[in-house]
Structure 1
């Protein structure tokens, strides 16, 4: 008998979740579902992210509600748009074989009129972020008088984001006799206060130990100088050729800059932060879920609700200010019983933070050494060999070409062919990491040596001359972000990412820096290029030098030399040097035509 049936879940729902790969309940599901199915108690469930909390409250909700009625009976509050959408989609999948189930996702950044229209049509389950939900309540556009269940998911994170007052106001619109189910990864005093204020003798369930991390996560740290952080980060990523990870930064600016630097260096990466529109966020997440991105660079807030399977690594480019956020970050990997690695890049001043986190999560960190260049090359070589060994051969498609291939290679022995195929990628890494320095340090090596090293996001990218500032008549209104503009320029002008410096994206135009040696190539590449029916203009910016003059007769003449060297601690950077084709490439496929806007993601 299916174990979910034994817990009391109806056949229609079990059939739906079986199709989704649910074979047996997770610990939180096994313990929470029987309690919630009674519908008699308020409930507090403490469990780490990735343990199946959505099904733990979603499956009992589907058993408790009357879907012949078209008014709101359940309200689920969560901290972010991504999590809101994820929960709503999951509930719809769970209810695939139940008639007349209506779920609406209510969140900021999307058209509120569409959400109001769905509510008016009739809905039983509302999944919402607090801000948008309060907006709809203030419009008198929803009636919560018949709500039987309120679920507070990721309650600790909602409070961290400052939603305490919004939650209070929303809950005051719901009946006193409702049941409140609270789920959280940690139990700070603010969450405890919500339980005291809005619950009556709640049933409390803890899976694992309070505030601890997932037992399947391996915690590692690398001790490096602040100025070497970016170079060490790249080397660690290269050491794991099949990495599929989330990289956490502390601020939006740092997130954007690290993502742009990675794209410029040929990595398959993009950013996720609060300044992106909902459409941009959806596109980035779609690419990541489809594994068209290898690295997602994110802030803590933006990453809440990311529920992506098989994330191999979480990398803390910057440690979080709050220990609870480390627990949430690391919980992005090792989901659904799988294993994962959480990596932290720290300098000597942050050792005390690592020790504090160890005490909170109840697990030790392993100190790791930043790989040497030869170690990275060896790892990449055997990754190439594995890909060659495991590649799927389409006999039907390739057979017509085999005679010509065999003829072309007939003068080479088997050993020579193997060596040459392996060398296609290996030579690039070998050249890139030639004479690469040792980036490791020991605590005893510092002795205050980091005093004066600021360790900010520009620590490994020193300023220098050698760049010319150009103008292009495309900007954010053309649906570009900075990473996309970088890809468009590089692909249209056929220049390497390392030759592009700072990109200053405006509404209808953009300034960008180009190495002096590549300026003529950029002008040549953009000759007769049009975008969505209008000609693309490239001109030298008028801020600074005046010895070049404008190219299109416009008002922008001259150009400054405020470019920056993009090197990182002695290691050369640039997509052309590294060669990342084994991981899917770093740049998007842009053309100067209309097709570009469709293929950006």
Structure 2
């Protein structure tokens, strides 16, 4: 099948041809004809890197009436990087439709300039939820006449705490508009949005729901905790051409691992919530250009990352949520390419691999870390391959070549080769000469999935009367589930500061690296607020939110020593 059979107009077909699009990818082939009809709400489930932007972008542009002075389409996505990427893609698709105006609206950039761009009434707005909400409050955006609302990476937006923002945005759209929802996974929150706002949607799934792509191999290495970093280095050294993304659980671990890699001579950088937007842009520019080969990141910081050529995703720490593994792995094997997802686990984490296999419908290869001899051989062959592929500039070398030959005349050919190879290769020989085997011997049986204690059994356990014993209630599709042992915090911002629950959730997740599911009730008051987190994450939250800034304002966070819940300020904070 070709793009010509999908019903696209001549201008879009010309753009597709110039962009090198040959045949549509599965999600494009299934979605484009349906979306071009413009008659139905739509749910598209497909992994990242499968061509979703093209799947909704081409139909959206074709459905725009360029003679109308109103905004007709919005695309809402989770991060600044993805917002800019989608905007660039849409402008490329519309290159032969000059009268269509597309504007990006996102945080971390001048709001004055964006308001100026919005005054010309763009046909399509691509936005992050927080900045779009801000623009709506300033009356700079009017969604009353849009025809199409696209939610891209819907599951990621919910993970980042944008549930309330998305609800507010969709409620501001007219009744007749069509919603196109795209997501990699279908957790309960995304299903709730589809149920509440979409009317009899057409649902298209490429692959199984919540399933990892087939073109990704999944490997697992079992190590002792003390050898985690050593194992990471062996994996990298055994893969000389790796262009990889390394995931850590917290921003602190991210920074430590990146710094250690740089000290050991690797082309590495870190990406986490403590970086300013300019620092983040600088790191991402180096990564996209290939001057940085290893990017060490937290899940929050890597959301919306759009780089096509990543060969490996390494889980330095396994994620807390199953869906997060799918998102991480989906950063490789994009645009039909193959890739590898590698997990490092200690002996106590083996059961989690079984859970992942069942939930995501994958099979892990329990592999052995290469020994020093295997790594040295791999590096040597890689170096020889690069030498063989090196282009020689004979003309430029001509005047220097006689002097080089004279200096090396005392050696025969084999000795020259040995000395040359040794000059480049001795560091690996020295490092791995006496390297130990750090693999953990495990039984040949697959790890068993750990049985889950029923909710009834868990809640029957008698709670302690400590400040952290009050059950944590986490939002789940409009309801709350109970989790034992919580810590309550005071934060000195409230409704007067124009914040909502989503802003507090994003602040906690971004700064501490914990997942949103570990955050419980949030009580917004006029000038201050309270929030709860799982007790095991309390120390991490407390230390990471020191000197934090929320929407340009320094915030003060303190533990509440007594878990009294009221609308007035708690005592003993």
TM-score when scaled to structure 1? 0.72
Flag the 1:424–1:17 CA change in 2: closer, same or farther, 3 A. farther
1:86–1:305 Cα contact (<8 Å) kept: no
1:151–1:182 Cα contact (<8 Å) kept: yes
Q: Measure the CA separation in 1 of the matches of 2:281 and 2:11.
A: 31
Shift of 1:11: 2.6
Tell me the equivalent position of 1:229. Answer: 228
Tell me the equivalent position of 2:431. Answer: 432
Shift of 1:13: 2.1
Residues 372-415 of structure 1 deviation map (CA, whole Å, 9 limit, x = unaligned): 11111111100110000011222333233222222222332222
Q: Measure the CA separation in 2 of the matches of 1:281 and 1:66.
A: 37
Shift of 1:135: 0.9
Tell me the equivalent position of 2:275. Answer: 276
Tell me the equivalent position of 1:24. Answer: 23
Flag the 1:418–1:13 CA change in 2: closer, same or farther, 3 A. farther
Tell me the equivalent position of 1:130. Answer: 129
Which secondary structure does the structure 2 equivalent of 1:320 belong to?
coil
Tell me the equivalent position of 1:369. Answer: 368
Q: Measure the CA separation in 1 of the matches of 2:102 and 2:270.
A: 29
2:154–2:181 Cα contact (<8 Å) kept: yes
Shift of 1:70: 4.2
Which secondary structure does the structure 2 equivalent of 1:181 belong to?
strand
Shift of 1:171: 1.1
Tell me the equivalent position of 1:219. Answer: 218
Structure 1 residue 414 corresponds to structure 2 residue 413:
yes
Tell me the equivalent position of 1:84. Answer: 83
Structure 1 residue 168 corresponds to structure 2 residue 189:
no
Shift of 1:304: 1.7
Shift of 1:444: 5.8
Tell me the C-alpha RMSD between the 2 structures.
1.7
Tell me the equivalent position of 1:288. Answer: 287
The range that moved more, 69-78 or 328-337, is 69-78
Count of residue correspondences: 446
Tell me the equivalent position of 2:357. Answer: 358
Q: Measure the CA separation in 2 of the matches of 1:33 and 1:219.
A: 31
Matches within 5 A, 1:17-56: 17-56=16-55
Shift of 1:146: 1.6
Shift of 1:136: 0.9
Tell me the equivalent position of 1:245. Answer: 244
Tell me the equivalent position of 2:119. Answer: 120
Flag the 1:427–1:141 CA change in 2: closer, same or farther, 3 A. same
Shift of 1:368: 1.0
Q: Measure the CA separation in 1 of the matches of 2:308 and 2:394.
A: 32
Tell me the equivalent position of 1:542. Answer: none
Q: Measure the CA separation in 1 of the matches of 2:92 and 2:45.
A: 24
Tell me the equivalent position of 1:391. Answer: 390
1:76–1:127 Cα contact (<8 Å) kept: yes
Tell me the equivalent position of 1:336. Answer: 335
2:49–2:308 Cα contact (<8 Å) kept: no
Q: Measure the CA separation in 1 of the matches of 2:210 and 2:27.
A: 15
Structure 1 residue 197 corresponds to structure 2 residue 196:
yes
Tell me the equivalent position of 2:142. Answer: 143
Shift of 1:23: 1.3
Residues 24-47 of structure 1 deviation map (CA, whole Å, 9 limit, x = unaligned): 111000000010000000000011
Q: Measure the CA separation in 2 of the matches of 1:66 and 1:402.
A: 66
Q: Measure the CA separation in 1 of the matches of 2:281 and 2:9.
A: 33
TM-score when scaled to structure 2? 0.76
For structure 1, the 5+ residue unaligned runs are 446-506, 508-601
Residues 143-176 of structure 1 deviation map (CA, whole Å, 9 limit, x = unaligned): 1122110000111111111111010111111111
Tell me the equivalent position of 2:179. Answer: 180
The range that moved more, 162-171 or 404-413, is 404-413
2:332–2:338 Cα contact (<8 Å) kept: yes
Q: Measure the CA separation in 1 of the matches of 2:431 and 2:46.
A: 44
Flag the 1:403–1:15 CA change in 2: closer, same or farther, 3 A. farther
Which secondary structure does the structure 1 equivalent of 2:400 belong to?
helix
Residues 115-140 of structure 1 deviation map (CA, whole Å, 9 limit, x = unaligned): 11111133111111111111111111
The range that moved more, 150-159 or 13-22, is 13-22
Residues 413-445 of structure 1 deviation map (CA, whole Å, 9 limit, x = unaligned): 222222222222211110111211111002369
Which secondary structure does the structure 2 equivalent of 1:108 belong to?
coil
Which secondary structure does the structure 2 equivalent of 1:296 belong to?
strand
Matches within 5 A, 1:69-80: 69-80=68-79
Structure 1 residue 327 corresponds to structure 2 residue 326:
yes
Flag the 1:24–1:197 CA change in 2: closer, same or farther, 3 A. same
Residues 302-333 of structure 1 deviation map (CA, whole Å, 9 limit, x = unaligned): 21222212211000001001000000000011
Which secondary structure does the structure 2 equivalent of 1:221 belong to?
strand
Tell me the equivalent position of 1:109. Answer: 108
Which secondary structure does the structure 2 equivalent of 1:31 belong to?
helix
Q: Measure the CA separation in 2 of the matches of 1:101 and 1:423.
A: 60
Shift of 1:196: 0.9
2:311–2:340 Cα contact (<8 Å) kept: yes
1:272–1:297 Cα contact (<8 Å) kept: yes
Q: Measure the CA separation in 2 of the matches of 1:433 and 1:68.
A: 68
Q: Which runs of 4+ in 1 moved over 4 A?
A: none
Structure 1 residue 349 corresponds to structure 2 residue 338:
no
Q: Measure the CA separation in 2 of the matches of 1:235 and 1:168.
A: 47
Flag the 1:79–1:403 CA change in 2: closer, same or farther, 3 A. same
1:48–1:213 Cα contact (<8 Å) kept: yes
Q: Measure the CA separation in 2 of the matches of 1:316 and 1:245.
A: 11
Flag the 1:32–1:389 CA change in 2: closer, same or farther, 3 A. same
Q: Measure the CA separation in 1 of the matches of 2:193 and 2:396.
A: 62
1:249–1:317 Cα contact (<8 Å) kept: yes
1:44–1:183 Cα contact (<8 Å) kept: yes
Tell me the equivalent position of 2:61. Answer: 62
For structure 2, the 5+ residue unaligned runs are 445-546, 548-573
Tell me the equivalent position of 1:518. Answer: none
Q: Measure the CA separation in 2 of the matches of 1:242 and 1:19.
A: 30
Q: Measure the CA separation in 2 of the matches of 1:206 and 1:444.
A: 37
